Amino acid sequence: MTMDNRDVSTIHQPVLLEDCVRLVTGGLSRKQSPIIVDCTLGLAGHATAFLKAAPQARLVGIDRDAEALALATERMKAEGLADRFIPVHAPFDEFTRALDDNGIHHVDAAFMDLGLSSLQIDETERGFSYSHDAPLDMRMDVSQALTAEQVLAEYDERDLARIFKVYGEERFARPIARRIVARRTQEGPLTTSAELNELVDEVIPKAHRPAGNPAKRVFQALRIEVNGELDKLAGTLPQIALKLNKGGRIVVESYHSLEDKTVKSFMTQGLTARVPANMPIVPPEAMPFFKELTRGAVKADEQEIASNPRSASVRLRAVELTRPLPEDIRHQFVERVALPGKALRARHAQGKGI
């Protein structure tokens, strides 16, 4: 259970671990043989803690990164938890298939940690980090075709600007895109993170640079595009809700505003009565079907940020299903699950996504 001969447990610091364990396992003691799904298994830091806190539970661990899945599986064996662990190699938007393939029809808790895993950050050859020079890869699943280098080499100026602005919230998205297209025309495409760092550094005026590396928003945007992260998130949350038992929980850690907005929007639709504000009596079918467990978003405190800087931007939200999904909502969720897949297939056919 090593990576470069290091113990996996020493290289992975789960964010908000105690809060996540409390939220994921808090309602499981009343259930027989509950099922937890960790949709973003990584190196199993959260997952091992869930199984230790809920000794009657089984856990399905989903990860699109085959290397991370193998290391997590070895960790489960070393921790004596392998008999309650089901590993699945898949992106998390294949949530329904992952359960169906294992004969699981309903679950009692689903967890998502949307940040990069320590493995992806620390393995510099993946090209996720702007602080190390590496090929511009950024694939969470190295078996897929699309890489960050391909995006930068093939997308036109308009699409690049859109990606940087929407996914990176980058103020200088258009001039950065313009420079990338000019650079590849004159000198050839960008191939390394150092080259991209240098280009962004030249474009963004010093007076308008964010704290830290000026290219961090561009790297974030490329990672989201390469891996189709927001499309997958929007398509996965309804799948989870459709599989939840009554009293089941959805617990999500987000690390940037676009993720958090997607999660918040999804959860909010189940937290409010679906009637006009002045309606004196709310019919049962219009009552909320989620109960909020976090009172907004939980953030890391100063002590955790000091010990684990990656926790600085985390936003943790959780809800519990209080009653079966209303039929109209269930129908909407089924339709919504289909749409992102169609959109992703269309993008893949155009060479613009997975």
CB 341 within 8 A of CB 235: yes
State the sign of the Cα–Cα–Cα–Cα dihedral 87, 88, 94, 97. Answer: negative
Residue of 157, 205, 209 whose CA lies nearest to 183: 157
Judge whether 156 is annotated as a binding position. Answer: no
What's the CA gap between 145 and 186, in Å, rounded?
26
CB 49 within 8 A of CB 31: no
Judge whether 113 is annotated as a binding position. Answer: yes
Residue of 71, 53, 61, 66 whose CA lies nearest to 4: 71
Burial letters 282-318, b for 16+ CB under 10 A, else e: eeeeeebbbeebbeebbebeeebbeebebbebbbbbb
Reading the block at residue 256, the tokens are: 């940037």
CB 148 within 8 A of CB 136: yes
Judge whether 105 is annotated as a binding position. Answer: no
Judge whether 110 is annotated as a binding position. Answer: no
Amino acid code (one letter) for 220: Q
What's the CA gap between 267 and 254, in Å, rounded?
13
Residue of 329, 323, 344 whose CA lies nearest to 266: 329
Reading the block at residue 134, the tokens are: 């590496």
Judge whether 50 is annotated as a binding position. Answer: no
Judge whether 141 is annotated as a binding position. Answer: no
Strands 244-254 and 107-113, by their bridges, are parallel
What's the CA gap between 63 and 43, in Å, rounded?
10
What's the CA gap between 168 and 211, in Å, rounded?
15
Judge whether 65 is annotated as a binding position. Answer: no
Binding site membership: which residues? 44-46, 63, 92, 113, 120
Binding site membership for S-adenosyl-L-methionine: which residues? 44-46, 63, 92, 113, 120
